[in-house]
Each structure stands twice: as structure tokens, then as C-alpha cells.
Structure 1
Amino acid sequence: MKAEAFAPAKINLTLHVTGQRDDGYHMLDSLVAFADVGDRLTFSSGPNLALSVAGEFSSGVPIDHSNLVWQAAEAAGWTGSILLDKQLPHGGGIGGGSSDAAAVLRTATAQGSINANDIALSLGADVPACLYAAAARMRGIGEQIEPINLPPLPALLVNPGIAVPTGPVFSALQCRENAPMPARIPTFKTPVDCAAWLRNQRNDLEAPAMTVAPGIAAVLDALSDTRDVLLTRMSGSGSTCMALYPTLKAAHFAAYEIGVAQPNWWCRATMLS
């Protein structure tokens, strides 16, 4: 039996760090959305588990148990060959590995009787949200998922080719007891309305990430200089940054501008939802 799955990029529109538990896990309050760009996985059932990787960012991706794809398949009891087409940059704060793992769990659920929700959090804080794969509020240590209605958000994603490990970013965070988002997230009619509300929210990891990877600041500056930009923000723990625009045409125009100026950066105009 063969199957295919799409693993979309996960974008943190907000990321408020609200505390830290005694076991070391950080408490979060984050509004996440998903792009129409991402990795793709192809599954072929068989007696043994095997993983191969291709695509733009295949270099350096492990094909053994250290890969979350392998761990997800093993946890789900799925065996066979998996081809991972890696199109998302590594260490980019857009949930590439977590979204890949979630795609494995969705596929295993469709082919068997596993409860993917029981496995997801054991693989990482982003995996439950990636399993849902639609706009949501993510709280707790990642296990509390609340669906949120967002209008389609035209966006530009830019990564400067810097992989940022999450650990050092959290270590550089000065305060771990920060205010959450408002109790109620309003209903937005347009990207302009949404961006206006988001401007009053935060990514608490943005400043510490820039101490770990100063190149992030150049990306945010470049996005801020684009025409018609509504909002700029880093996603997750970096290094990918995003900007919101009133139309997809404006996002594509910004992608062209930045692509000409910085041809080595990864730039993708996309719709978030």
C-alpha cells in the first residue's frame, strides 16, 4: 500500500512564554497558523522501517532513529519505507520536523487503529498543533489545542540560511513569567484587522534568538522595508521570519524584492490559514 502526506510549515503568529514547570518544560500561549508550503512524505508499507531523504534541504538530515519521522513511525507501530522530500529549512522555527512527524501519525491513523493524540506530545511540544494542522491557540506545554478561525493571511516567509537550536534560545530568555495573550481572541474579517491585533502581541523568543543568531535582525529589517507590509515577526525560536500583507500579490512582490537583494535567502510567498 502506498500513501502520500503533506507536512505544512507551522508559523507562530505569536509566542508568549508564560512560565516554566519544575520538570523544565516551558509553558506557552501561542497562536499558530499553517502555510501552503512544506515537506512531502511518501509511504510504502513493508515488513521493515526504512527512511530516505531527498529535496532542497535533504543534506544532513538523519535517516535513523534520531529523526522524528522514524520515531513517529516506530511509536505508531508502522513499518515500511518512507521517502521524505525536505523542502523546509532546518532549525528554522517553522516546525519542519514536528510537522513531518505529525504527517506520519496522520497516515498511520488512516491505515490502522492508533490514537495519534496519545503519541503526539511525546514527540515534541509542536507535534500536537502540527497534528491538527490548522489555525489554533496552543497552550500549556503544547498539549492544549483550541481551534481558531482566521481569515486567509497572505504572508512571506524568509530564512537567511541560519539553523538556530532551540536550547540556546531558551537559555538566553531573560524572563520566563510573561503575560499570556488576551483570554479571548477576536474574530478577524481581513488580514489588516488580524495584523493590527497581532501588533499588540509578541514572540518572547525573538530578542533572545537574535543574541544567538544576529543575522535574524537583517531579515526583519528587510521585511519591514517591503511595500504594503502589515506586520513582521520571527516564527518559533527562529530563524525564519514572516511578514503579513493585505494581498498575496503584495507578498509575491515582496518575495521578488528580497530575492533579488538576497539570492541566498529562502523566500516563499504563501497563504496562512
Structure 2
Amino acid sequence: MSDADLPPHGDAGDATAEPRLLDHLIELRARLLRGVVGLIVVFLGLLPFANKLYHYLATPLLAKLPAGSQLIAVEVASPFSAPIKLAFFAALMISMPWLLYQAWAFVAPGLYKREKRLALPLLVSALSLFYIGCAFAFFLVLPSVFGFLVKVTPSGVAMMTDINAYLDFVLILFLAFGISFEVPVALVILSLLGWVTPAQLKEGRGYAVVGIFIIAAVITPPDVVSQLMLAIPMCVLYELGIIASRWVASDRDRSEAGDAPGS
């Protein structure tokens, strides 16, 4: 058979790949649009309560200030922009499960069954730990930090915090604690990728503790209270990460043994 009689495999493959790629792009656009629409709906729903949200966020500081003290607005537009910024951040936090669901719905069809079985719990755990980290920062860390700062304020100096500066400080602290609480998920992912083993994580515990305290000193305010309140939970989460890595490693070994020839 001559080359002229052979079917045009390359052209057929390209013709098949182009519609498939177009379908993926259409699906991606639809998922992104749904996610953005959900975020906007939540944001618009929170706008009427933006000032109340800011007052609630300012409670940890206001509770520690002397009676009659209050936050101030240095910039002209701060009384408007700060609550709007907080409302958007709150909307992003509330709609995060919806946004992640859209991402999962787009990616999941291309995953194997075992990958789905591992990815979904990791995704849920990562989101839950981030929320727990933010709640820990708001209910425990912020009151302790502001209580410490008020006590060390020199005599004759009045704490008059700008509302924008306070919002940025709190949001950065939320992100720092939320991301730091992802330690177990990060260790499990590293173990799944084969970059580390549970035994290596256990042996490197001492170096990890030193690194955790250095990270806590860098990303928290310059006070011992907040540094300890971040470092200690991270050390506990590191130990939980080792336990989870062992479980994932043993589960992977069982799966590989079950897939072995002759099993």
C-alpha cells in the first residue's frame, strides 16, 4: 500500500482535538462566569451591611481601648472605601466553597478515580483549615495582640488607629494564619508527590520547629504573644501532618499492592 492510500491520521487527530479544546474552553468560561456571578451576588448582598461588618471586625481593638476611644479616618474616602473593601473580602470568604466547586467541576472529569478520592478530601481540608486559621486569629489572637499593645503604649500617647490601616493589618493577619494552618495539607501533598516520606518528616521535626518559629516571627506583629500563638498551633499541625502523611502513604501502598499483577 502506498503512502497515498494511507488515511490522514494527523489531520483526523487535529480535527478531533480542535473541537475537544473548544469544548474545554467553553466549559472553562462557563465555570468562571458562574463563579464570578456567585461572588458578585454575595458581595451585593453584603453591601447594605458593610458598616456593621466593619464595626464587628473592629470589636477586638475597640474592646481593649480606653472608654471613649475610637478609630479615625485619615483619608477622605476611607469611611466609604474601607467597609466596601471588607465587604468584598467577606464575600470572597463566603463564596470560596462555590468558587472551589466550579474549579473542581472543571478539573474532576479529567482525574482518575484514585486522584478524585484523594483530591476532594484535600480540598475540603484545605478550605476548612483556612477558615479555622482565620477564626483563630479573630477570636484569640487579635484580642491578645491588642491587649498587649495597649498595655505597652507609653504614657501620654493615645492609640488612634486609621480604619484603613486597621483593616489591612487584620486582613494580613487573617491570611497569615489561614495559610499557616495549611501545614498538614502541604505535608500530605509533598508525601503524595514522593518528595518527602513520613520518616523524613519525623526526623526533620527539630528543623521544622525552628523554621516555624522564624516564620511566626516574620509574619506576625512584633510581639511575643502573637508569635507564640502562631508557632504553637503550627507545631501541632505539623505533627498532624506527619500522621496524615503516614495514613496516605499506607493507603497508597495498599492501592499499589492491589493493582500489582497477580493480585
Q: TM-score, normalised by structure 1?
A: 0.23
Q: TM-score, normalised by structure 2?
A: 0.24
Q: Which structure exhibits the higher relative contact order, with contacts defined as CA atoms closer than 8 Å and separated by 6 or more residues? A: 1
Name the one with the larger strand percent. 1
Say which one has the larger Rg: 2
Name the one with the larger helix percent. 2
